[in-house]
Amino acid sequence: MNLTLTINGEPVAVPNVSPTMTLLQYLRASGRVGTKEGCADGDCGACTVAVIGEGSDGKLHYQAMNSCIVPLVSMAEREIVTVEGVANGSLHPVQEAMVKTGGSQCGYCTPGFIMSLFAAYYDGTVDDLAVEGNLCRCTGYASIRRAAALVTGAAPVDAFSERLQHPLNPLPPLGLADRESPSEQPFYRPGALSEVLMLLQRYPEAMLVAGATDLGLELSHHRQQFPILISLEAVTDLRFIDRRHDAVEIGAAVPLSHIEDQLRGVFPSLDEMLHWFAARQVRNRATLGGNIGTASPIGDLPPVLLSLDATLRIAGPNGERQIPLCDFFKGYRQTDLQPGEVIVSVIIPTSPIPGSQRRLSQSYKVGKRGTDDISIVAAAFTIDLDADNRILHARLGYGGVAATPARARGVEDLLIGQPWNAATIELAKVALYDAFTPLTDLRGSAEYRKRLVVNLFEKFFVQHP
Amino acid sequence: MGSVGERRSHESAVGHVSGKATYTDDQRPPIGMVSLYPVLSPHAHARITKIDVAAAYEVAGVVTVLTAEDVPGENDTGVIVRDEILLPTEEIHYWGQAVVWVVGETEDAAREGAARVIVEYEPLVPILSIREAIAADSFHVPLQVFRRGEAATALESADYSLSGEVEMNGQDHFYLETQASWVIPDTEGNYHVYASTQHPTETQVVVARVLGIATNQVIVTCLRMGGGFGGKESQANPYAALAAMAARKTGRPARVRLQRHHDMILTGKRHGFLGRYQVGFAADGKITALAVELYSDGGWSMDLSPPVLMRAMLHVDNAYYIPHIEVKGRIAKTNRVSNTAFRGFGGPQGMIVIEDIVDRIARTLNLPPHRVRERNFYHGSGETNTTHYGQEIFDNRIDRVWTEVKTNARFEERRQAIAEFNREHPYCKRGLAITPVKFGISFNKTQYNQAGALVLIYTDGSIQLNHGGTEMGQGLHTKMLQVAAKTLGVSIERFRVMPTSTDKVPNTSATAASSGSDLNGQAVKDACETLKSRLAIVAARMLNLDSPEAFVFEDDWIYCKTYPSYRLSFSEVAQQAYNERVSLAATGFYRTPNIYWDSKTAKGRPFYYFAFGAAVSEVEVDGFTGTFKLRQVDIVHDVGESLNPLVDQGQIEGAFVQGMGWLTMEELVWDPQGQLRTYAPSTYKIPTISEVPEHFQIHLLERAPQEGVIYGSKAVGEPPFMLAMSVREAIREAVAAFAHGQPVPYVPLAAPATPEATLWAIERVRAAASESVEQPLLTS
Ligand SMILES: Cc1cc2nc3c(=O)[nH]c(=O)nc-3n(C[C@H](O)[C@H](O)[C@H](O)COP(=O)(O)OP(=O)(O)OC[C@H]3O[C@@H](n4cnc5c(N)ncnc54)[C@H](O)[C@@H]3O)c2cc1C
Ligand code: FES
Ligand code: FES
């Protein structure tokens, strides 16, 4: 397909784009080699660019993204800034700061850091979190932290901040011009759920793509060809967060960074897990629907959602249905999703069950590296206690210990009616040790995983006596 | 001009931050450039029974395929011995070894072609660990032994003795820029190689060898590297040679740029080591005797393993005087990647062994580990200040850095506070540790300790600076500019540092062993001094004075010190030199004096001098998960009179964090078939900013000029890497605290101390503590 986008303020037309081409490949092939490839995996941040997008506050922001896992087609009609576009006659303040503090040594990671810092600069807070997704092997980060300190808290007024004052054109639907006749178009970006459903009917082999942080790896790394891609990015009916009196409903295509911002404080276990989920570049793109749809046994949000009794809303050719998340995962990377169906939203009840006096809820993630790592084990617990400190309701969700994200149901049953005390925990510990039969893999041994299943619950008790 | 000693930013900093600094694969592609893509072996050890490349040619865009038959010269890239076949014909030696390379109009075409190549194998039994190699007697070189005194007898008569093992994993370099080489052939049989290499001369020699042409037909240029850390010393050569082969076969420019996972699968890493020891000591913790065997995992070919092992053997003492010592070393030959140079070059592995031992002695005697460390330091003069290989540590600064960092970090006070904290927190424990570093500076191989430079002044007074060192982020070019500017008394802005190129400075050494600025700095200074003396003569003539030796070069002016008001501008004198037919180009050269090594007795002065440092680290370990948080780090490090404190501080910070990664989270996992399972950043985790503590204080030792080194400075690249041992020891302290006050005589800790390994260590300590309640620890 042919597409247009804006790069560093210049409109650019790109003919014959293959849907498997990543934004990074395009940038480098077109001579914009300032943006580097360090991994093509979404893990190092060397390829970071800033994309103008709407934040959860409805305002425009520069959003850092890993261009190596962004399909170029999904940037159609968008505006991006690359490292080449940051200096405006003279160096940008974030560039100056990095020069001054010695924030670059070999310099190969630097363009990525500049773009992460740049994006954060216009949000006013330039801290460690802004560059957590950028690996540097040379500096040990201290000088980069000193650079960040020089530019944090600014209220910039410049051409870049000015740009954010002008509204963005809504993402136009793509590939749908000729709705009735079958088209050669391999990439669709519909604007409404009904169109997604229609496309799925017409092309049963089509693949849905949301943030592409899972799928992008297939493109970038495995050079996998998908016959037809249907992007959910412009589907407004999938991008909402609805806070009701008894529940929160989150649209499947809402990026995780919006959930982070808008729901902070509502579900402590969700806040905690989002904090440990990948890094900002990924959270700016990754969606809740993608994390569930990909059905990975080590997906981090399913354990949290399981512990919160979440329900999925699913739309398909025969209308809508709802299914509790705990019934959704059927086997290793298998779900209850039927051909032609789309996850619309996730509904999370907010109130503890009747009679409850106190709700305890928290989540934990253990990886080899604290930050931006895939879980060895993720766990999320919700316990509702009555006035006598007895357990009324228990949900223990785990990831990384079975073929799917799973609840320790046997242990939940055992807990009901017990007092929330050390003796009960001892009982639960024995049962938890045998609750799952995890595998040994490169991240950890089966025995370690079994111990984490137990120990994380004990930790939860110690922290929430 | 006082540019030496200034906190100057990296000379390419503006290029880095604006994306304009050009790396090998960022150059404007020449017309018709082809790309290479490998076919990897799915076995760790196998015989090749068939290679059929025909189907690759069916893919549109495949230009040709490279197999052993296409090697015009020698099919071997070995650097010390010829044991490193470039394109295998009979046998596969490690999982992922590249068998065939497909050349395509694009990388994608080559990749598709590679998928069509048929290779058949007959699997053989692989050797997949040091232990398996020992069992199979599979080694690269004969046993090496270094000795002082009579270790065996002294061990027998020791008051206490212990024996044990220390094992540590390797480390991937994870330079952000993967291996890359572009080769541009001309029509006359010459090749210009642009490579991301730390050793352009060796790359040149290997390319010429593989192509079967004279060295002078190959030019190797290194623009800059996106990180090296030793991983682009010998490891860059095969990819340059392959691109050169493709260029020769097709007559077109050719490019290899490894994808990250190929880089991690194909290239050598830090050597994993196994140490076995027997140590004798006295009741005060002083070591009286040590017998230690060091086994390194050399991988399938020798590469640089012998000097890496030697450095490990030379650093197994770290900062400690050991009167009777016997060090044996062997290089295991295994079916793994061929391990190679990596910051520290074996030094860290040797030092980990002794630090483990010293800690164990302390716990056995129930003494604080830092006390036992102190008691064993090299001290005084003569014997107690002389290493096991007979080199006296003339300028011993261990005590200075140690005392200073202890004070800065309020070590004693915090030890108390932490003990208090640990009493109150049953589920998480803090640990505080201090460790020293003494690191020998010079290439082990004497002939590498030489360097050259070429300085070219143009008639407008602008200058090109060439030297034999390569820039990989360590700030070498910046320091060389400072040296040149100071020596010539001109501003840095006059200079352009040229890409390192073998046609400018020939026969160079690798930029390695932290020696870049020591060696090249002297060579640059030498060249500048030659030019200066020529210009002084011209200036003297211009001013009608007759004492050129009295001329001063300062702030871009040249004048006689007796008549400072008669000044000539540098450019004016340069122009006049040209007019008078005085050469404005000069080479410089340097060889490190006074170093020697007798390999028969294993004695000598292999190091020109030593660098020193000490670090205090504090961690908190979670008893439920084994995860840790690094809370605070204080460092005092000796860089002599820093040429550039900004650069040196950056080197120390970066090295420390890299070392911390090696010892705590960077885990190379091989499966039972010998497949590397951690070959991407999704599975191999290097530290991020969040693993670095807010309190991360670096102090450069003050008033510490190093005699005989360029402007009193000291090498800084490698030594601070080993400061990270303090993190490992702090984790061990925290783990030990899970015994709840019970002394535990032995706290083994895996390297890396991943959360899982740490949890098991905690379990062991808990078990030992509950046993020791009944059984008193130590009777003596
Ligand atoms: C560097 C990096 C770090 C990561 N870290 C983490 C981590 O810490 N924890 C973690 O859990 N994951 C992590 N991931 C994985 C990934 O980011 C998440 O799974 C993410 O939520 C996927 O969302 P997405 O929108 O990008 O999905 P996509 O890649 O767009 O899609 C993923 C799958 O879901 C399907 N899908 C998407 N939306 C829907 C829908 N509405 N209905 C039905 N099917 C749908 C797609 O067809 C596809 O099969 C990481 C990925 C990267 C690259
Ligand atoms: S290249 Fe590493 S995240 Fe994109
Ligand atoms: S400066 Fe080299 S990787 Fe960051």
My answer on whether A374 and A308 are in the same domain is no
B671 contacts in chain A (CB < 8 Å):
442
Interface test with B, best of A22, A113, A368, A377 (most B CBs within 10 A): A368
Percent over 90 (pLDDT), chain B: 96
- pLDDT, greater one: A372 or B187: B187
Q: Check CB contact under 8 Å for B224 and A111.
A: no
Residue A194 to residue A204: CA distance in whole angstroms: 15
Max Cα–Cα distance, chain B, nearest Å? 94
My answer on whether A341 and A441 are in the same domain is no
Q: Specify the pLDDT at position A172.
A: 84
My answer on whether B317 and B370 are in the same domain is yes
Query: A206 in a domain, yes or no?
Result: no
Neighbours of B451 (CB within 10 A): 29
**Residue A176 binned pLDDT confidence (cut-offs 50, 70, 90):** low
My answer on whether B503 and B633 are in the same domain is no
Query: A217 in a domain, yes or no?
Result: no
Q: Specify the pLDDT at position B780.
A: 35
DSSP string, B673-711: TS-B---STTTS----GGGS-SEEEEEEPSS-PPTTSGG
**pLDDT per position as a tens digit, A43-56:** 999 999 999 999 98
Question: pLDDT at residue B778 above 60?
Answer: no
Q: Specify the pLDDT at position A2.
A: 86
Q: Specify the pLDDT at position A413.
A: 98
DSSP string, B567-633: EEEHHHHHHHHHHTT---EEEEEEE--S-EEETTTTEEE--SEEEEEEEEEEEEEETTT--EEEEEE
Residue B530 to residue B536: CA distance in whole angstroms: 10
User: Domain boundary residue among B350, B379, B408?
Assistant: B379
My answer on whether A371 and A302 are in the same domain is no
My answer on whether B705 and B756 are in the same domain is yes
My answer on whether A332 and A416 are in the same domain is no
Shortest Cα distance, chain B CAs vs residue A27, angstroms? 12
pLDDT, average across residues A200-214: 93
My answer on whether A44 and A141 are in the same domain is yes
**pLDDT per position as a tens digit, A346-401:** 999 998 889 999 999 999 999 999 888 999 999 999 999 999 999 999 999 999 99
**pLDDT per position as a tens digit, B304-332:** 999 999 999 999 999 999 999 999 999 99
Residue A231: C-alpha distances to residues A17, B199, B739 (Å)? 15, 48, 56
Q: Specify the pLDDT at position B779.
A: 36
My answer on whether B581 and B612 are in the same domain is no
My answer on whether A35 and A134 are in the same domain is yes
Residue B449 to residue A252: CA distance in whole angstroms: 62
Please tell me the total number of residues recorded for chain B in this structure: 780
Percent over 70 (pLDDT), chain B: 99
Q: Check CB contact under 8 Å for B108 and A144.
A: no
Give how many domains chain A has, as a whole number: 3
Closest CA to B649 of B585, B584, B698, B576: B698
**pLDDT per position as a tens digit, B117-150:** 999 999 999 999 999 999 999 999 999 999 999 9
User: Domain boundary residue among B544, B568, B591?
Assistant: B591
Mean pLDDT check: name the lowest of A37-41, B343-347, B437-441, B544-548.
B544-548
Q: Which residues contact A111 (CB under 8 A, 6 or more apart)?
A: A34, A35, A36, A46, A48, A82, A83, B16, B17, B19
> According to DSSP H, which parts of B409-515 are helical?
411-424, 476-488
My answer on whether B139 and B287 are in the same domain is yes
My answer on whether A373 and A426 are in the same domain is yes
Q: Specify the pLDDT at position B777.
A: 41
Quick one: closest CA in A to B9, which residue?
Answer: A102
Residue B360 to residue B374: CA distance in whole angstroms: 15
What tokens does B693 get? 């503590």
**Residue A179 binned pLDDT confidence (cut-offs 50, 70, 90):** very low
Note if B718 is an active site residue. Answer: yes
For residue B473, give the ligand 3 atom closest to its CA: 2
DSSP string, A88-123: BSB--HHHHHHHHHT--SS-SSHHHHHHHHHHHHTT
Q: Say if residues B207 and B240 touch (Cβ distance below 8 Å).
A: yes
Residue A440 to residue A446: CA distance in whole angstroms: 4
**pTM (2 d.p.):** 0.97
**pLDDT per position as a tens digit, B6-51:** 999 999 999 999 999 999 999 999 999 999 999 999 999 999 999 9
Q: Specify the pLDDT at position A184.
A: 57
Preceding amide of A190 cis, omega within 30: no
What letters, b where the CB count within 10 A reaches 16 and e where it falls short, cover A318-353? eeeeeeebbebbeeeeebebeebbbbbbbbbeeebe
User: Domain boundary residue among A147, A165, A183?
Assistant: A165
My answer on whether A329 and A400 are in the same domain is no
Residue B156 to residue A352: CA distance in whole angstroms: 70
Q: Among residues B202, B718, B729, B733, which one is catalytic?
A: B718
Query: A238 in a domain, yes or no?
Result: no
- Residue B341 is part of a domain; what is its CATH number? 3.30.365.10
Q: Specify the pLDDT at position A218.
A: 82
Give how many domains chain B has, as a whole number: 4
My answer on whether B645 and B497 are in the same domain is no
Q: List ligand 3's pocket residues with C-beta within 6 A.
A: A 104-110, 136-139; B 176, 227, 473
Q: Say if residues A261 and A57 touch (Cβ distance below 8 Å).
A: yes
Q: Specify the pLDDT at position B360.
A: 98
Grouping H, G, I as helix, E, B as strand and the rest as coil, residue A420 is coil
Give the distance (Å) from ligand 2 centre to CA of residue A26.
14
Look up the domain containing B52 and give its range. 32-125+183-266
Mean pLDDT, chain B, rounded, equals 96
Grouping H, G, I as helix, E, B as strand and the rest as coil, residue A77 is coil
Q: Check CB contact under 8 Å for B686 and A34.
A: no
Residue B572 to residue B558: CA distance in whole angstroms: 10
My answer on whether B116 and B250 are in the same domain is yes
Give the distance (Å) from ligand 1 centre to CA of residue B756.
27
- Residue B206 is part of a domain; what is its CATH number? 3.90.1170.50
Mean pLDDT check: name the lowest of A165-179, B337-351, B671-685.
A165-179
Q: Check CB contact under 8 Å for B9 and A136.
A: no
**Residue B772 binned pLDDT confidence (cut-offs 50, 70, 90):** low
Closest CA to B38 of B119, B122, B111: B111
Query: B480 in a domain, yes or no?
Result: yes
Give the distance (Å) from ligand 2 centre to CA of residue B683.
14
My answer on whether B211 and B226 are in the same domain is yes
Question: pLDDT at residue A311 above 80?
Answer: yes
Q: Say if residues A320 and A193 touch (Cβ distance below 8 Å).
A: no
Question: pLDDT at residue B235 above 60?
Answer: yes
The complex's ipTM works out to 0.97
Grouping H, G, I as helix, E, B as strand and the rest as coil, residue B642 is coil
User: Domain boundary residue among A314, A332, A349?
Assistant: A349
Query: B463 in a domain, yes or no?
Result: yes
**pLDDT per position as a tens digit, A100-139:** 999 999 999 999 999 999 999 999 999 999 999 999 999 9
Q: Which of A39, A46, A99 sits opposite B14 (nearest CB)?
A: A99
Max Cα–Cα distance, chain A, nearest Å? 69
Look up the domain containing A422 and give its range. 358-463
Q: Specify the pLDDT at position A185.
A: 60
Q: Say if residues B242 and B101 touch (Cβ distance below 8 Å).
A: yes
